[in-house]
A and B are shown apart, each in its own frame.
Chain A
Amino acid sequence: MSSNPYIPFSAVIKDLRQETDGARPIKTFTVEFKDLKTWDRFSFRPGQCAMVGIPGVGESMISICSSPTQTGYLQFSIMQMGKVTTALHELEIGDDITVRGPYGQPFPLEQWKDKKILTIGGGIGQAPLRPIINYVLDNRNDYASLNILYGARSPKDLVFLHELKGFAESNTAKVHLTVDREAPGWNDNVGFVPQYLLDLKPSPENTIAVTCGPPIMIKYVLQNLVDLGFTDDQIYTTLENRMKCGIGKCGKCNVGSVYVCKDGPVFSYAQLKKLPADY
C-alpha cells in the first residue's frame, strides 16, 4: 500500500514533564500511537526527527529525543517558541497529537561501535543528543565509554537534569555539567560549554564527539574540538532549519544542494564544511 507522506499518524500524549520554566519553557512529551500497527511504518534511529502537530494549528519538526531501544513510545522535548509550539504546550495528558515521520539521516551509531562517545550539549540542544545517550546505555557493551558534557545558562535551564544526575550516580556514564554563571546551590562547574570542553581536555583517540546547542556555542565547540586534535570525521552535529514538508520537496530547508530534513539533520564536520555559508 503506497502511503501519502503528508498524512500524519494519530497519537496521544501519555506523559508530560516540565523541564524548564520561564519565557520559553521546555516540556518533554511522551507520545504513543493510537494504532499500534503504526509502529510497522515508524521505525526510527537516533538522530531522526518527526513533524509533531495539531490539525488546525500546524506542525513543527522536532528531534525524537528517545532512543528506539525505548519501545512503545516516542519522546519529544519541545521549547515553546511560536504558534505551533505554543499550542502544543497547551495540551494535556490524554490529548490527541499527530506525528509524521521519521525523517532525516540518523547518527551513524553502527560506525561508532567500540568507540568512545562524547556528547556536548547546550540548552535545548541536549534533546537531539539524548537518543544517542539512551541508545549507547542500552547497548553499553558496544561502546567503549560515554561522556556527557552539558551546560546551560543557569541550573533551571538544564533539561533532563534528573536523568543525568541518575547516570552520574550509578556511574553508567561520566556526566560533566556546567552553568554559565554562579548560582546558589550549584556545586558543579561554572563556565561556558566550549571553555569547559577545553578544561576537560578529552583525548581525540578513538573518540566521536557530537555537539548540539545554540549556533554560537556550536561554533566555538567545533573550533575547540579541532584544536584538541579531533579530525573532521570525528565530529558530528545536527542542524536545524525551518521545515514544512519534511521530505525534501517544499524547498524551505535547503543549505546549498542539501536538504536538512532529508539529507540531514545529522552532519559530520567534514560534510558541514562542504556546505555553503547559508545556515
Chain B
Amino acid sequence: MDTVILHKENLNEFLKSLGDIRLVAPVAENGKTRFEVVEDVDKAVIVLDDYTASPKKVMFPQTETLFSFKNSGAGFDTAAGTHPPVTVVFGIRPCDAKAFTVLDPLFSQDKEDPYYKEKRESTILVGNACTEPTNRCFCPSVGGSPGSTEGLDVLLTDIGDEYHVEIVTDKGKELLKGSETVLLDAPKDKRKAKEEVVGRSLAKIRRQVDLKMMHEILPGVFEHDMWKEMAEKCIGCGICTYNCPTCHCFDIQDEGSTATGRRIRVWDACMYPEFTLHASGENPRPDRSARLRNRMMHKFTYYPTNMGHIGCVGCGRCIELCPVNIDLIEILTRVREVINE
C-alpha cells in the first residue's frame, strides 16, 4: 500500500481538502469526547488522544427510523434507499474499525439490512493508530493491534512531528486525491518509524486473555456454577452492551398512533431481564447468570460459529465502564480454569 507523510500543522488543511464530504471526528463536548459531525474544521476541537469515544453509532445509530406511516394502508416512507451523504469518520481506532468488519456479515447475510448497508458503503474510515493504549486494552488477544489497518481505508500514525499515512484501500486512495499538496512522499526512515511506534504501543498493553479454542471450550462449561458466581454482582444495566463496538442487538418499537407515526429500531441489551420476556410471562433467560452466560457465549462461540469472527475486538470498554467490575478477561480465564480442573 502507499505510504505518505502529513505534517501535523497541516492537519486542518488536510481535513478541509477531503472535499464535499460529511466529516465525523472525535470532538470535545461538555466533558466528554464523542464522534460528532464537524461543520467547521477550524472551530471544532478535534481530540486525537482520546480512547473512549465510540463511532458505532455512525453505521448503527442508537435510534433509527425504519419507516414512517400516515393513515394506515397509505404506504410507508423510509429513508432507506435515499443515499446518505458520503461520510468520512476521522480518528477511528483500529479496534473500532475492525468492529465494523465483524458486524458486516451479520447485517448483510440472508436478508440484507439496507440501513446499515447504505451507511457502510458511503462511509470512509480514516483511522488513528494508538500510541497510548490504556489498561483496559487487550486487542492483541483477539488478533488485533494498535497499528492494524484491518477494516480501515486510511491509517494515520503519530510518529512525532508528522503522521505516517497509509492508504489501505482504493476507497481511501480516491478520498485522498484532493489532498496532494499536504501529503508528501515518505522517506524510508519515516516508514520504519511506524513500526517502532506500534512496537512501543504493544509493549504498553499489559492485559491479555488466552482465547485458543475458546469457542469450543465455552459450551463445555454451560452448566457450570461459575456463571452464577460471576453474575452475582451484575446489576443488569446496558453499559457493557451499549459501549461495545460489536454489540448489535436491537428492539423495534412503534411510536405515534395508528393514524400517524413511525417504526423505529433502538439499541437493546441482552443483559436486561425483559430482553427475552414473552408476553405470557415466560422468560427463557430469567436470571442474570443465564444472561451473562449468553452474552459471553454469543461473543466467543455463537457469533464466531455463525459469522466467522470473534464478537470482540479487545477494546475493553465493558471492563472499564462496568460499575461492578465484571471483567470478561477474568471470566474467560475462569472458563479455562474450570475446563482444566
Contact = CB atoms under 8 A, between A and B. Distances in A.
Does a CB–CB distance below 8 Å link A and B in the complex?
yes
Interface string A227-269: 0000000000000111011011111111111000010000000
Interface stretch (B31-39, B171-179, B270-278): B270-278
Interface residues of B, number: 57
B285 A278 contact: yes
Contact of A251 (B254, B270, B290): B270
B250 A244 contact: yes
Nearest to B284: A279
Contacts of A57: 254, 258
A58 B254 contact: yes
Contacts of B257: 56
A240 B276 CA distance: 11
B76 A250 contact: no
Contact of A56 (B69, B81, B294): B69
Contacts of B109: 248
B72 A250 contact: no
Interface in B92-111: 106-107, 109-111
A59 interface: yes
Chain A residues touching B, majority SS: loop
Interface string B223-254: 10000000000000000000000001111111
Which of B72, B107, B248, B257 has the most A CB atoms < 10 Å from its CB? B72
A57 B263 CA distance: 9
Interface string B89-131: 0000000000000000011011111110000000000000000
Contacts of A252: 249, 251, 268, 275-276
Interface stretch (A2-10, A149-157, A177-185, A186-194): A2-10
A245 B250 contact: yes
A93 to B, nearest CB: 15
A72 interface: no
B219 interface: yes
A277 to B, nearest CB: 8
A254 B305 CA distance: 13
A85 interface: yes
Given A4-B114, A55-B258, A55-B261, A251 B249 contact: yes
Contact of B72 (A2, A55, A253, A277): A55
B302 A81 contact: no
Interface of A: 2, 4-8, 10, 34, 54-59, 81-83, 85, 96, 215, 240-242, 244-245, 247-257, 262, 276-279
